[in-house]
Structure formats: C-alpha cells, structure tokens
A = this chain, B = another copy of it.
C-alpha cells in the first residue's frame, strides 16, 4: 500500500501533471487572446518553482511539489496551480481524524490545487482542487467552485450545468449530493452567506472501483479545464469601473476570511508544517476591508 512506485499512485500523479500542463496552456492562451483593458501589457506566463517536503516521520524524502504561478497578467492578476505528491506519517494529533490512519499512520497523497484571482471584476475567480489519498484506505476528493464578484446568472447556470453533465455520466446521485456539499462547505458562517456561486465538492470517494473513481476525478478536472476558460472568454474584453474594482476587492476580503478561518486544507496544511507558499497561494493578490 505504501510503495510510492506502485502503478496506481504513479498513474494518478502523472495524470495530475498532464492536467496541470493543459490548464496552464489554456490560461496562457487566454493571456494571448486578451485585447481589452490591460492588453497593452505583455501576455502573462507561468513560472514554476519546485519544493521538497521533509518526511513527517523525521528526515528523508517526503515528496514535494511544483507551484506554477502567473501574476500581473492581462487577464489573471494572480493564479497558482500547485501539484504535489507527498508521503509520510500522520502525527498522533491527526491519526484519529483521517480515515484508516488509526491502524497505520502512514499516508500517500497526490493532487492538484488551483486558485485564480482575475484582473477584471467582471471575470469570475475560481478554485479547483482534486486529490487521491492513501492510508490503509484509499479515496478521491475534490471539486471546483466559482467566485464571481459580479455574478452573471448565465455563467453560473452554465458552470453548474457542465458539472451536472459530468457527474451524471457516473452516478445520478453525484451532482445533487456534491453540489449541496459544496454549498455547505463554502459558506462564510459569520457573514451568513456563501463564499461564491458554488459548484461541486466531494470527499472520501471510494465506490470500490478504483478505475471508475479515478475516471470520475479526471472528468471533474476536464470539465473545469473546458468550462472555465469559456466563461473567462465571455468577459475577457469587458471594461470595468472603479466601483466594480472596489466590489471585487471587498469580495476578496471575504474570500480570505473563509480560507483563513474555515478552509480545512489551509488550516490543516499550516498546522502540519506544509509548504506555506503553496498553501497560501490561494490568498488574493489584493483585498480590502474598508
């Protein structure tokens, strides 16, 4: 189970790399296409930075990852796409919280995590993250949600419809369950409102059929890869006002509140000594609490 070279683990980790390349390529294409407000600046390009992780059971290789970051583009103000493949041993504190870790605290995790904050308040921000985790159990989890400072009903509807089509190919129960899970999860409790327009969220997915579950996770990622650039294109050349920008900056403040107060990946990552830059890559390039 903990042989990091086993075929399934290698296969999933390699696929996340391929996906990363496809998404980064698609986002750079959007930078090339932009001919609106900030098109006098050079088209943005991703820079990659790899990081290593010490093994949690003390010393030795614990895997690592690669952050792809693009900032100050024509379309993307800050977007990070992080892939990571890590392994180690859960601390006493976390063993009780992770399925299968009470019997044997070793784990292997591979995944992709993406957050895009856009220059234009008219273009929705977005988050996508999927992963496979192996302890004595193995499961997939992840999802994607749309975060529009100035929501457009048709965009929201099309985003949800794309994920419904994707989910329905696997199980008719998936979409209603995973949409609700997303709404419940990305809720800013102290503000009493959602973080954004929602999407889907799922965790501990193990139907008993590994190939099927991996195919579903691939389909979720590919749905994101196809629908999000389409939504960006709809508004890529729209102009915006100072008031729109202010709305966006305040909206991003709420987004930062959610991530720092409630997001399990963020708080878990910071408390378990994860890579700070990779974890906090999700925070907005600029935000306001006026």
Contact with B along A278-290 (1 / 0, CB 8 A): 0110011111111
Q: How many copies does the complex hold?
A: 2
A139 to B44, alpha carbons, bound, how many Å? 56
Asked if residues A78 and B290 are in contact (CB atoms below 8 Å), the reply is yes
In the bound complex, residues from chain B placing their C-beta under 8 Å from that of A190 are 270, 276, 279
The residue that A256 contacts in the complex, of B189, B256, B285, with Cβ under 8 A, is B256
In the bound complex, residues from chain B placing their C-beta under 8 Å from that of A283 are 253, 257, 289
With both beta carbons as reference points, the residue of chain B lying nearest to A71 in the complex is identified as B290
Q: How many residues of A contact B (CB 8 A)?
A: 24
With both beta carbons as reference points, the residue of chain B lying nearest to A267 in the complex is identified as B261
In the bound complex, residues from chain B placing their C-beta under 8 Å from that of A288 are 285-287
Residues 248-281 (chain A) with a chain B CB within 8 angstroms: 249, 253, 256-257, 260-261, 267, 270, 276, 279-280
In the complex, whether A191 has a CB less than 8 A from a CB of chain B is yes
Tell me the interface secondary structure of chain A in the complex: mixed
A287 to B256, alpha carbons, bound, how many Å? 11
A189 to B267, alpha carbons, bound, how many Å? 12
Asked if residues B276 and A270 are in contact (CB atoms below 8 Å), the reply is no
Residues 34-92 (chain A) with a chain B CB within 8 angstroms: 71, 78
In the bound complex, residues from chain B placing their C-beta under 8 Å from that of A270 are 189-190, 261
What's the minimum C-beta distance from A274 to chain B, rounded to whole angstroms?
9
The residue that A290 contacts in the complex, of B249, B267, B285, B289, with Cβ under 8 A, is B285
Asked if residues B289 and A280 are in contact (CB atoms below 8 Å), the reply is yes
Query: Given A261-B270, A267-B261, are A286 and B285 neighbors across the interface (CB < 8 Å)?
Result: no
Asked if residues A256 and B261 are in contact (CB atoms below 8 Å), the reply is no
A82 to B190, alpha carbons, bound, how many Å? 19
In the bound complex, residues from chain B placing their C-beta under 8 Å from that of A279 are 190
In the bound complex, residues from chain B placing their C-beta under 8 Å from that of A287 are 256, 286-289
With both beta carbons as reference points, the residue of chain B lying nearest to A276 in the complex is identified as B190
In the bound complex, residues from chain B placing their C-beta under 8 Å from that of A191 are 276
Known: A286-B286, A287-B287. 18 other contacts (CB 8 A): A78-B289, A190-B270, A190-B276, A191-B276, A249-B286, A253-B283, A256-B256, A256-B260, A257-B260, A257-B280, A283-B289, A285-B288, A285-B290, A286-B287, A286-B288, A286-B289, A286-B290, A287-B288
Q: List 12 A-B contacts (CB under 8 A).
A: A71-B290, A190-B279, A249-B286, A256-B256, A257-B260, A260-B261, A261-B270, A283-B289, A285-B289, A285-B290, A286-B290, A287-B288
Q: Which 6 residue pairs across A and B have the least CB separation, nearest first?
A: A260-B260, A283-B289, A190-B270, A286-B288, A260-B261, A190-B276
